[in-house]
Chains A and B, each alone.
Chain A
């Protein structure tokens, strides 16, 4: 499975956009980029995923570069409740894959008032 690299921590002002980067330079063609977050020892929560096109849902937007070697998760208007550890995960899909998620250390996002 491809490895991801994320900054260990970031700060963001409340109400501003939070842009969380992720590098996955060894990503393969059948690997999707997933983002999860974990708020203070709760179970991880799914945010968004994508293959090569940009994606948007009610929580966030995912921007994937054309070469797919990096991506950015955007929380458009961060609130204090968005303070969490954010995980970028590369996950292969296909009949021979298990679907498991391998978590790295993630980025601790601190949203400040």
Chain B
């Protein structure tokens, strides 16, 4: 158990819909990272938040957005869903970005868009 909690574990929805994925980081971790893993793309970095502020942005589509709340949990919002958005979405947490050390990954949310 990494200590990172992601909900829901599985989600099936239709094209054009909007979903929200939630991540609770490990106790004490200030950074949250979101990743997308689809069959043909591998693990892609989407976005990072540190202590409530966006810190880095990767290959995140404009239809996707995220935020980190004062209690440090984070949500990834996916809108106008397309078939190609079907993927595993992982959240990871870590302490201060400048420090060495591991990132802890959750078990992921599997999104299926029909």
Contacts and interface: CB of A to CB of B under 8 A. Distances in A.
Contacts of A93: 98-100
B72 interface: no
- Which secondary structure dominates chain B's binding surface? strand
Nearest to B43: A103
Range class of the B interface residue count: 20 to 34
B33 A41 contact: no
A44 B43 contact: yes
A99 B104 CA distance: 12
A100 B102 contact: no
A32 B88 CA distance: 27
Interface in B22-56: 31, 33, 35, 37, 42-45, 48, 50, 55-56
Interface in B89-113: 90, 92, 94, 96-108
A99 B2 contact: no
Interface of A: 32, 34, 38, 41-46, 49, 87, 93-106
Interface of B: 2, 4, 31, 33, 35, 37, 42-45, 48, 50, 55-56, 58, 88, 90, 92, 94, 96-108
